[in-house]
Structure 1
């Protein structure tokens, strides 16, 4: 006698929205938009607003697809972590197959639309970003190495390149520096989070750096990665790729980031269970990218 597996009720639209990780998508879309707006005109013309909107929509859909496929693959891990237990799959509000089909369909649609509506370069980089996040970070690195965030950080660094390529059809030095900035920003950002949720990662068996190497090593790595990140943030100014407004904003905000990272890196006691320095660095790191990228767009339009 076989026991029938009970069917879950149809997922709500809010569950499908949750699969796309909208909070993460906000930063992805913003950096992609800034990459597009910072791009120079081609043959005297900026990208048409309709095409620009389409490109940003494709970036959003591609990021959402990657988030959905990430949750499909990591449903077992999410069920073990307190901060992710309420997601649609571990909470039992959706079938895994629904998440898989949604993610694959969204990814295919975003790439096809980008190719036919915008250009091949943007579609190719968008494809690379989705595959990198899903296959390299989620499938290959996440469960195997504490370097998952370091290498996997490239996935979240592609949007400025995609936005620039959508506007110009090619890649240049400035968007590559923006890529480097986000890539190098990712380890301090996520390791600050990992320090105050390391129990969650340990319970799920995810080899995040604080779990595998300990807090002391993680703090030192946060400090070390902040140094090249700061260089990538400021370099557009001395290289003549931006004006003084960006240079000033990037210098000041990066100095604040470095000060917060230094506090975390040199901290020897965690008697304060709230781990406030780590939370401050994590929260500020998000604001930091918004401010720096926003300043670049304003600067390019004022001084170009």
Structure 2
């Protein structure tokens, strides 16, 4: 997942802020604040759902909950820092990443690399106190994002979007496996949701920031194959979300089904408009916002219907 670039005022603030507030601002940009939250939320959702479907009480698993949330957050943060460290040269060429401390020089690359290593090791160490399965999914998510996405495919292949999406899809498996084995239809479908959802979400960013990716030489799909082809691919992936509410209807109930199906139908309608639109940047911005609304509401509804 990627978050959009901030305003020029935010960038100037990042460059000039000092003291504790400046440090925290730089940390936020380093960890891609919204991206971190968007990856941690599925961990929490799946943990909650695992307790519900296992008939377990939250209070009796509070210690495991803290370990899971802290450990997974550190691992995700470590992966994001590795990404910023490795892509500092690309970020300097893109308007949307000018506020990152690896670009402004607020943090040295050596400091970012060491922080990434330490944070990742701490995260894995903590996750090992939950379950081996949860630690394994944490490693797989980290490996796909850092090694296969950041180090290998990002600069070479359009399939980088798919690989990055696989990485993010492991997050609900982490949360569920901390409570019970993830061989249940709910975590499997959450993996499916996160994988499919991230593709049109990321491609919407790539269309909106096409000039950035072109200038940096990143082979995103709209750079290599054009915007019309990318829009058609996005539509296919959004349509692929349709089975999600149907498969989980017996487990999650009618309210979940109606809300999720309605959200999916709305996104499909919006995606179809992209085929004939003349303003692809505006359309991409609308899709980006809708994708975030779709994910947040879907996960929150899954929590609310199981309270």
- TM-score for both structures, normalised by structure 1: 0.88
Alpha-carbon shift at residue 290 of structure 1 (Å) = 0.6
Distance 1:269 1:287 in 2: 24
Matched, 1:80 2:93: yes
Q: For the Cα contact (< 8 Å) 1:120–1:169, is it kept in 2?
A: no
Deviations for 1:64-112, whole angstroms, at most 9, x for unmatched residues?
1111000000000000001102210111112111111101111110111
Q: Cα gap change, 1:201/1:293 in structure 2, threshold over 3 Å: closer, same or farther? A: same
1:235 alignment counterpart:
247
Distance 2:259 2:55 in 1: 30
- RMSD between aligned residues: 2.0
Distance 2:53 2:277 in 1: 51
Matched, 1:122 2:128: no
Number of residue equivalences: 286
Match of 1:15 among 26, 40, 43: 26
2:188 alignment counterpart:
176
Q: For the Cα contact (< 8 Å) 1:181–1:233, is it kept in 2?
A: no
Q: Cα gap change, 1:255/1:99 in structure 2, threshold over 3 Å: closer, same or farther? A: same
Distance 1:253 1:223 in 2: 14
Alpha-carbon shift at residue 41 of structure 1 (Å) = 5.5
In the alignment, structure 2 segments of 5+ residues that lack a partner are: 1-17
Q: For the Cα contact (< 8 Å) 2:245–2:256, is it kept in 1?
A: no
Alpha-carbon shift at residue 169 of structure 1 (Å) = 4.2
1:291 alignment counterpart:
297
Q: Secondary structure at the match of 2:107?
A: coil
Q: For the Cα contact (< 8 Å) 2:144–2:163, is it kept in 1?
A: no
Distance 1:72 1:222 in 2: 29
2:76 alignment counterpart:
63
2:226 alignment counterpart:
214
Deviations for 1:248-285, whole angstroms, at most 9, x for unmatched residues?
11111111111111112x12523x7xx32221111010
Distance 2:55 2:278 in 1: 58
Distance 2:181 2:118 in 1: 25
2:150 alignment counterpart:
138
1:257 alignment counterpart:
267
Match of 1:267 among 258, 265, 276: 276
- TM-score for both structures, normalised by structure 2: 0.88
1:5 alignment counterpart:
none
Alpha-carbon shift at residue 214 of structure 1 (Å) = 0.4
Q: For the Cα contact (< 8 Å) 1:119–1:166, is it kept in 2?
A: yes
Matched, 1:29 2:35: no
- Runs of 4+ in structure 1 deviating by more than 6 angstroms, as ranges, are none
In the alignment, structure 1 segments of 5+ residues that lack a partner are: 1-8
Matched, 1:52 2:58: no
Distance 1:148 1:260 in 2: 25
Q: Cα gap change, 1:214/1:170 in structure 2, threshold over 3 Å: closer, same or farther? A: closer
Name the structure where helix makes up a greater proportion of residues.
2
